[in-house]
Every structure is written in structure tokens, then in C-alpha cells.
């Protein structure tokens, strides 16, 4: 199969003094957005998770993350966010139905769509996908990861990632077409 | 590749459209597309959608605000520890700012059960303003108890971090790696918070019945491995209660802070067991999803009571005025045949609705009872010890039960026609079982927890009179509930006598519930799972498949088989 190439989003190899800092600066917003999504919209906790991720990142010898620094950050960030969620889902079990809310991040969208709001319409359709598909859709189309990278981040198989994204895309195609009729 | 034509829903087509195929695979798809206009159109559509998705998602509100720009990149790890954001954040511990507590600390009190938490609260109350007894929801306890922790813990957390060092993939193994300083600090914390003195001076009511006091202890403290000191929950003077769960080898590999299974409690010391119903099923959905994706669920994603309640059972409907009927059954526990397994089944009254019969779970059925709580009184002449399966974080203080105050810790509602299933595992008197052995009565001074005054500012609460279950009965179940319009709660008592049934004699519902429990214990790696294997679980479940029109029970067997495949 294809060799592993550094992704275009990664800083180049001159990992001198500011390689890690530059990566951190560039990835803070995307990572926080990703973590916020995983954490059901809790920005504060997402920032904590991201900060924690960066602390770990800064402790890495640059050579060990070179070429896949962004993937590394997303992987670690995801791991931390899920840790938080796992613990929290224990807490929230006090109220029936709360657990679902931990993973369902979007409010249920209405059926009707406003014409001028294609973006928000699409976001709402994405919000109707199962949480795991939403995550893959965002990793793919928001963060630009390849199937293989997504597979490594989420610990799914590449085939599984392909299947889930295919399912999500097929559903979005159908529903988007239906909305426009 | 042999695809001259693509099905429109071939994942390969999507992969191709998104630029994910390379080499021969890509060439094969391209060759096929030449003769397949429909597939070509699909590819164009997918690409167009992909562009829309990218554009829409790029516009999705980025959560970063101006304030973030001022957050500097973190210094290197060691410096971060010294210069002091909450160091516990660095050890894989909860991401919680001490002054802004949120929910996470509660986790550790779920471990200890509310009784342990209430013991710990006493310690705090000596230096804090009195907390009214009525404000006893668990989060408040956690908040109060956890307050002193950050001050005492950084040394240890930092130590652990320095030792564990490198990556997120590794979590420090506390027992293996802790330094002498960490151990000293740990003991110190335990000594302070675990002092028995506050028990005598108690300013709040304590309950030993809230299950998990006799939790797994190591050095007398409830211990959540790999969490650093945050995992230590003081158990006051209850460290005489036998530690029933030794540290499991390999447990430190698991990053999850865990909620331990309820341990066996001595019936003589703790004749009452009280909890609020959990009618949720989310845990089952998660377990199912993960297993179908060929992944074993994390232990703490497996909530026994939610697995059990995912399935409908066939219990007798209420016949009298009460909206709930209680069905009890007892037989040998299949994973530990010397033990008895007690099933408490609740059946909510059916309400006639002009509703379609398909998918009954998705229909919002009217609530027929609220604040549903169960209290089980065990007969110590029959029951040596007992263990509630699941409900690790739902145990109530019995004073709440007596006051019908389920809302303090749980909001349990029962919908029309719903069933709720609860299991207790019992070690009968006369069965010597090292795993389930509990401390002799006198070590706890018989029922010390019935006493204690109310805190300043709140009235004393009535303490229940034990019924003292008469000899032939194994236990008595008391159900408390409130009908939706009612102001006061009702009480229903149902005794159970054990006639010595074997597992094979049990009803299909009983067998199936036992299978679910066995499955849950294996997935949770519970120390109480005995000899149960996934193959056993599948066999028990199959023996319990009856009237399974929706196929939910058959599905459990499938999930057990899926888990078997993953385990291999």
C-alpha cells in the first residue's frame, strides 16, 4: 500500500525550537472545536482537554511526532475527552436520558429549512447523524484527515471508517436532496 | 477487482470520490466508472456534497474566543507542574478546576456509596459552615468533601506525573511507581480524613445501609487505581470491613477510573439496602454499539441495571389499587451455585392507549409512579451477606427512603406497562465464602448508624424501625412510590421465602436476567463473576428466550457471541 507521507497540514520538518509551538498555535482552535463537540458542547472542559493534550505534546521529542503531529494531537485529545465523558456518564446516570445527551451534541433540528441557510441546514443534517458518524464526518471534512488517519485517531479499522463515512454521506446526500425539493 | 458496475451504495465509490483510493484500486474504479454513468453521477454528487460539507463545517462556530489567544502555549511538562495549573490535571485525573467543581468528583463518591460520602462529610463539616441535612444530593456532598483535596494532593499528583512522564498512552501505575513521598502523603491524608473521631461527634445522620461502605479497601482507603490520590476516598473507621477485592493484575493498564461493583455486605450489620430505581437503558445501547463495532466496551460503560432494564420481562400486572406489582423470585446464582440470586421485578400498570404496538419504547408512556425507591430488609438468620448488582451510584440513604425523598439522589419514574428488574446475590448463612466474607458484627458495634443527631439548622429525622424479618423469610421488599398527582408517597411490602430452587428450576425471565447479569459482570471484569464464561452466559440467555417477539433477547445472545469473538 501507499507509504506514509506527512500530511499537508503538518508543519514541515524543521522541528527546531518553535516546531511544537507553531503546531500548538495552529491547532488550538481546531482541537478545541473537536473536543467541544466530543464533550457535548462544554467549551470550558474542552479547553482543559486541549491544554492537557498540549502539555503532553510539548513533552514529546519532536522527532517522535514529526510528520503526524496533527494526527497525534487529535488522537490524544480524543482519548482525553472520552476519558472525561466516561467518567461523566457515570455521574449523569442519575437522570434517565442524560446519558444520551452526553453523546448527542446537537439539539434535534426542525423539519423545515430556511432557503438562505444552506450551511446551517447542512450542519443540522450532520447533527442528525449518529454521534460516531458525526465525528468521522468532522474529522474528514472539517479537519481534512484521510481514512487512514481517522482510523488511527478513532481506533476503528480503515474499512470501518470507510463504511461509516459512506453511510453518513449517503444519508446526507439523500436528505439534502429531499430538503431542496 | 471485478466490479464492472457499482451498486450505488458501495463504500468504495464514496472512498474513490473522496480521493481515498490509490493505485490498483483507484484504477479499477476508474475503469468501471467509464461504463457506468449512474456511478459517475453519484461520484459527482458525493464530491459536491463533500465540498458543501467542508464549507459548512469550516463555518461552524469555532469555539475559540479572543480570550484564548491570550492563553500561552503550555511550558514543558515539568515546568507546568511546578508553576502550577492544577497538577492533578496532568496525571490523567479529572479535568476539574478546584474552585469550579462540576460533576466529576462525584465519581469517587459513587464508588464509596453515599454512606462513605456522608462519613467523609463529617470531616469537612468541622471546618465548614453546617450543611443542611436536606441539601444532601450527592453533588453537594462531593463538593463539600472534595474541597480540601486539592490542597493536600499536588505533591503526589506531581510526583506521579514526573514519574509517568511521557505520553497520553501511559498512565502511571500508582502502586508500582509511587514514591515514598507519595505513599507518606497518602497515609497522611487518610489519617486525617479517616479519623473515626467524627463518627462519635456526628452531626449528621449516617447510614451503613447505603451499600458500598464495605468497599474494596487497600490501606483502609477506597482506592481507585491509576487516579492518583484523587482516587482515595476516606472510609472513616470502616476499614475493619474486609477488603474483598484484591488489586487485579493488569488493572493499571486501564485508563478508566472505575466504579467498583457493589461488594457483599453483612446482613447483620446492614440489614437494609435502599436504592432509587434506574429505568435508563443507555448503557445497553452503548454496549451494543461497541460490540457490534467489534470493540469491548470500557468497563464503566457497562451499567448492570441499565443492561437488565433494556429488556422487557413478563411480570404479573398489578391487580389492586397500587399502580405497581412486585414479583420476587429466588434460585441458585448460576455463576456461584452456593449463592442465591434474588430477582425483584416491578411491573407498572398498563394504561390503555390508542398507540401503535410497534416500537413501544419510543412512545412516551404516561408515568404511573414517581420517586420509586426500593428497600430490601434481609433476614440475618438466613442471609450472611448480600450484594446489589448494579446501581453503584444510586444507593440512597435510608432516611431519604423513609421520607420518600428519592429526588435527593435520583428521579426514578416508572412508565405505564414498564418493567424494572433488580438482582441481589445472597450468601446464605452457613455458606463459607472467602470472597463474600464480611466483618463480624461487633466490629461495627452492631447498628451504630441508626443514631446521630441532625446537623444544626435542620430537624431530626425519624429513623426507620426495622421490621425484623421473621425467620422463614429470606427478605422483605418495601417499595415506595408516589403517584403523579399525589403529594405523599405510598408503601408496599412484599416478603420472600426461599424454597431452595435450583437455577434450572427458575423461570425463563429469571434465567435471562441472570444471563444479562453474568454478561455485565464479565464485561465489567467484576470480581464477583465467579466461574461464569461468555459461553455460559449465552446458554443461560438461550434458556431464557421466551415470548421474544421483538428479538431483543436473541440479540443479547448475538452480542455475547460478538464479545466472545473479540476476546479471542
Q: Read off the pLDDT band of B101 (50, 70, 90).
A: very low
Local structure of A39: helix, strand or coil = coil
Q: Which residue has the higher pLDDT, B504 or A120?
A: B504
Looking at residue B357, its pLDDT comes to: 52
What percentage of chain A exceeds 90 in pLDDT?
18
Q: Which domains does chain A have, with CATH numbers?
A: 7-105 (no CATH), 107-181 (1.10.10.10)
B38 touches chain A (CB under 8 A): no
Give the pLDDT mean for B545-555.
88
Q: Which residues contact B540 (CB under 8 A, 6 or more apart)?
A: B334, B503, B511, B512, B514, B515, B518
Of B82-86, B281-285, B474-478, the range with the lowest mean pLDDT is B82-86
DSSP codes of every residue in B420-482: EEEEEEEEETT---GGG----GGGGTSSGGG--PPPTTSPPPP-PPP----TT-SEEEEEEEE
pLDDT at B213 over 70: no
* Beta carbons within 8 Å of B4's beta carbon, 6+ residues apart: B32, B35, B36
Yes or no: say if B95 and A49 are a contact pair by the CB < 8 Å rule. yes
pLDDT single digits (tens) B233-261? 222 222 222 222 223 333 333 333 445 67
Residues 6+ apart with CB under 8 A from B253: none
Judge whether A175 and A169 are in contact, CB under 8 Å: no
Task: Note whether B60 contacts A21, CB cutoff 8 Å.
Answer: no
Query: Which stretches does DSSP call E strand in B483-532?
Result: 490-496
Minimum distance, in Å, between the CA of residue B94 and any CA atom of chain A = 7
Per domain, the residue ranges of chain B are: 1-71, 87-260, 272-353+360-447+459-567
Bridge partners, residue B333, by sequence: B336
What does the alpha-carbon distance between residue B185 and residue B111 come to, in Å, rounded to a whole number? 22
Report d(CA B12, CA A49) in Å as an integer: 35
Q: Inform me whether the C-beta atom of residue B367 falls under 8 Å from chain A C-beta atoms.
A: no
- Which residues make Cβ contacts (< 8 Å) with residue B475, sequence separation at least 6? B342, B376, B377, B378, B379, B382, B383, B424, B426, B469, B495, B496
Nearest-neighbour CA in chain A from B290: distance (Å): 11
Q: Please identify which residue in the block is written with the cell numbers 475527552.
A: A81
Helix (H, G, I), strand (E, B) or coil at A156: coil
Please calculate the CA angle B436-B438-B444 and round it to the nearest 5 degrees.
Answer: 160
Cβ(B476)–Cβ(B377) below 8 Å: yes
Beta bridge partners of B336: B333
pLDDT of residue B334: 95
**Contact between residue B394 and residue B420 where contact means Cβ atoms under 8 Å apart:** no
Specify the pLDDT at position B394.
Answer: 55
Give burial (CB, 10 Å; 0-12/13-18/19+) of B422: buried
Note whether B406 and B371 are within 8 A (CB).
Answer: yes
Tracing cell 489519617 back to the chain, one arrives at B191
Q: Which comes out higher in pLDDT, residue B259 or A40?
A: A40
Q: What average pLDDT does chain B have? A: 63
pLDDT reading at B167 higher than 60: no
Nearest chain A Cα distance for residue B236, angstroms: 23
Least confident of A62-66, B22-26, B105-109, B195-199: B195-199
User: What tens digit of pLDDT does each residue of B5-54 get?
Assistant: 666 678 888 999 998 988 888 888 888 888 888 888 888 889 888 888 88
CATH top-level class of B272-353+360-447+459-567: mainly beta
Q: Which of B62, B95, B166 comes nearest A48 by C-beta?
A: B95
Per-residue CA distances from B208 to A62, B316, B365, B385, B396 (Å): 54, 33, 36, 14, 10
pTM of the complete model: 0.43
Which residues does chain B have within 8 Å of residue A80's beta carbon, measured at their own beta carbons? 95, 168
Burial-class residue B419 by CB neighbours within 10 Å (0-12, 13-18, 19+).
Answer: buried
Q: Give the whole-angstrom CA distance, residue B504 versus residue B360.
A: 31
Which of A2, A43, A91 lies closest to B63 in CB terms? A43
Contacts by B549-555, CB closer than 8 A, 24 or more apart: B552/B310, B552/B311, B552/B312, B553/B311, B553/B512, B555/B288
Rounded Cα distance between B230 and A20, Å, is 31
What are the pLDDT digits (tens) for A146-159?
Answer: 999 999 999 888 88
Write out chain A residues lying below 8 Å of B413, CB-based.
96
Kindly report the backbone phi and psi dihedral angles of residue B239, in degrees, each rounded to the nearest multiple of 5, phi listed first.
-70, -5
ipTM, 2 dp: 0.73
> What is d(CA A126, CA A141) in angstroms, rounded to the nearest whole number?
11
The predicted structure's pLDDT at residue B389: 92
Residue with cell 466529576: B104
Of B11, B22, B282, the CB nearest to A162: B11
Query: Chain A within 8 Å of B306 (Cβ-Cβ)?
Result: yes
Residues in chain B: 568
Report pLDDT digits (tens) over A41-88: 888 888 889 988 888 888 888 778 878 888 999 999 999 888 888 776
Whether the predicted pLDDT of B350 surpasses 90: no
Question: Distance (Å, rounded) from C-alpha B118 to C-alpha B135?
Answer: 12
Reduced 3-state DSSP string for B352-377: CCCCCCCCHHHCCCCEEEEEEEEEEE
Amino acid at each position: 500500500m501507499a507509504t506514509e507521507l506527512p500530511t499537508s497540514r503538518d508543519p514541515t520538518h524543521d522541528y527546531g525550537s518553535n516546531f511544537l509551538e507553531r503546531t500548538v498555535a495552529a491547532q488550538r482552535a481546531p482541537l478545541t472545536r473537536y473536543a467541544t463537540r466530543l464533550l457535548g458542547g462544554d467549551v470550558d472542559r474542552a479547553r482543559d482537554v486541549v491544554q492537557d493534550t498540549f502539555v503532553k505534546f510539548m513533552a514529546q521529542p519532536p522527532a517522535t511526532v514529526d510528520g503526524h503531529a496533527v494526527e497525534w494531537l487529535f488522537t490524544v485529545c480524543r482519548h482525553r475527552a472520552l476519558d472525561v465523558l466516561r467518567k461523566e456518564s457515570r455521574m449523569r446516570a442519575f437522570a434517565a436520558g442524560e446519558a444520551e445527551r452526553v453523546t448527542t451534541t446537537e439539539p434535534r433540528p426542525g423539519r423545515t429549512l430556511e432557503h438562505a441557510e444552506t450551511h446551517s441546514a447542512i450542519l443540522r443534517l450532520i447533527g442528525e447523524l449518529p454521534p460516531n458518524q458525526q465525528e468521522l464526518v468532522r474529522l474528514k471534512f472539517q479537519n481534512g484527515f484521510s481514512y487512514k488517519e481517522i482510523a488511527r485517531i478513532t481506533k476503528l479499522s480503515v474499512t470501518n471508517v470507510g463504511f461509516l463515512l459512506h453511510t453518513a454521506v449517503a444519508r446526507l446526500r439523500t436528505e439534502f436532496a429531499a430538503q431542496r425539493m | 477487482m471485478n466490479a464492472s458496475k457499482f451498486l450505488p451504495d458501495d463504500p468504495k465509490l464514496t472512498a474513490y470520490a473522496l480521493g481515498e483510493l490509490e493505485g490498483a484500486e483507484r484504477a479499477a474504479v476508474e475503469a468501471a466508472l467509464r461504463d457506468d454513468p449512474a456511478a459517475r453521477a453519484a461520484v459527482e454528487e458525493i464530491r459536491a456534497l463533500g465540498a458543501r460539507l467542508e464549507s459548512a463545517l469550516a463555518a461552524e462556530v469555532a469555539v475559540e474566543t479572543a480570550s484564548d489567544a491570550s492563553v500561552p502555549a503550555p511550558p514543558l511538562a515539568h515546568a507546568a507542574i511546578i508553576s502550577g495549573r492544577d497538577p492533578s490535571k496532568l496525571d490523567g485525573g479529572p479535568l476539574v478546576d478546584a474552585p469550579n467543581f462540576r460533576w466529576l468528583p462525584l465519581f469517587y463518591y459513587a464508588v464509596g456509596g453515599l454512606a462513605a460520602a456522608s462519613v467523609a462529610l463529617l470531616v469537612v463539616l468541622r471546618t465548614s459552615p453546617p450543611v443542611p441535612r436536606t441539601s444532601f444530593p450527592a453533588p453537594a456532598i462531593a463538593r463539600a468533601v472534595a474541597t480540601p483535596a486539592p490542597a493536600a494532593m499536588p505533591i503526589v499528583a506531581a510526583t506521579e506525573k514526573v514519574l509517568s512522564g511521557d505520553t497520553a498512552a501511559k498512565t502511571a501505575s500508582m502502586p508500582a511507581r509511587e514514591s515514598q513521598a507519595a505513599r507518606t502523603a497518602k497515609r497522611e491524608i487518610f489519617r486525617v480524613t479517616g479519623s473515626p473521631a467524627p463518627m462519635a461527634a456526628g452531626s449528621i445522620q449516617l447510614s451503613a445501609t447505603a451499600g458500598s461502605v464495605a468497599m474494596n479497601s487497600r490501606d483502609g482507603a477506597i482506592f481507585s487505581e491509576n487516579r492518583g490520590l484523587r482516587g482515595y476516598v476516606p472510609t472513616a473507621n470502616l476499614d475493619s470491613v474486609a477488603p474483598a477485592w484484591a488489586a487485579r493484575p493488569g488493572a493499571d493498564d486501564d485508563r478508566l477510573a472505575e466504579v467498583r461493583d457493589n461488594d457483599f455486605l453483612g446482613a447483620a450489620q446492614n440489614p437494609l439496602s435502599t436504592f432509587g430505581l434506574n429505568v435508563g437503558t443507555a448503557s445497553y445501547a452503548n454496549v451494543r454499539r461497541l460490540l457490534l463495532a467489534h470493540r469491548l466496551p470500557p468497563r464503566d460503560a457497562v451499567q448492570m441495571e441499565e443492561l437488565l432494564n433494556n429488556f422487557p420481562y413478563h411480570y404479573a400486572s398489578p391487580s389492586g389499587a397500587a399502580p405497581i406489582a412486585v414479583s420476587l423470585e429466588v434460585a441458585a446464582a448460576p455463576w456461584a451455585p452456593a449463592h442465591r440470586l434474588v430477582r425483584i421485578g416491578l411491573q407498572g400498570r398498563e394504561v390503555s392507549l390508542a398507540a401503535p404496538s410497534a416500537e413501544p419504547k419510543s412512545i412516551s408512556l404516561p408515568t404511573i409512579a414517581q420517586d420509586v425507591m426500593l428497600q430490601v430488609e434481609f433476614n440475618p438468620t438466613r442471609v450472611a451477606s448480600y450484594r446489589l448488582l448494579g446501581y453503584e451510584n444510586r444507593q440512597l440513604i435510608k432516611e431519604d427512603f423513609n421520607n420518600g425523598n428519592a429526588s435527593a439522589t435520583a428521579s426514578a419514574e416508572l412508565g405505564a406497562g414498564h418493567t424494572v428488574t433488580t438482582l441481589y446475590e445472597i450468601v446464605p448463612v452457613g455458606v463459607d465464602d472467602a470472597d463474600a466474607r464480611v466483618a463480624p458484627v461487633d466490629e461495627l458495634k452492631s447498628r451504630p448508624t441508626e443514631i446521630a443527631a441532625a446537623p444544626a439548622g435542620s430537624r431530626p429525622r425519624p429513623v426507620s424501625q426495622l421490621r425484623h424479618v421473621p425467620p422463614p423469610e429470606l427478605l422483605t421488599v418495601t417499595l415506595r412510590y408516589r403517584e403523579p398527582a399525589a403529594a405523599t408517597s405510598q408503601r408496599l411490602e412484599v416478603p420472600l421465602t426461599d424454597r431452595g430452587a435450583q437455577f434450572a428450576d427458575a423461570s425463563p425471565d429469571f434465567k435471562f436476567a441472570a444471563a444479562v447479569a453474568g454478561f455485565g459482570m464479565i464485561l465489567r471484569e467484576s470480581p464477583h463473576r465467579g466461574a461464569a464464561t461468555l459461553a455460559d452466559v449465552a446458554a443461560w440467555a438461550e434458556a431464557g428466550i421466551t415470548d421474544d417477539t421483538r428479538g431483543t433477547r436473541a440479540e443479547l445472545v448475538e452480542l455475547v457471541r460478538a464479545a466472545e469473538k473479540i476476546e479471542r
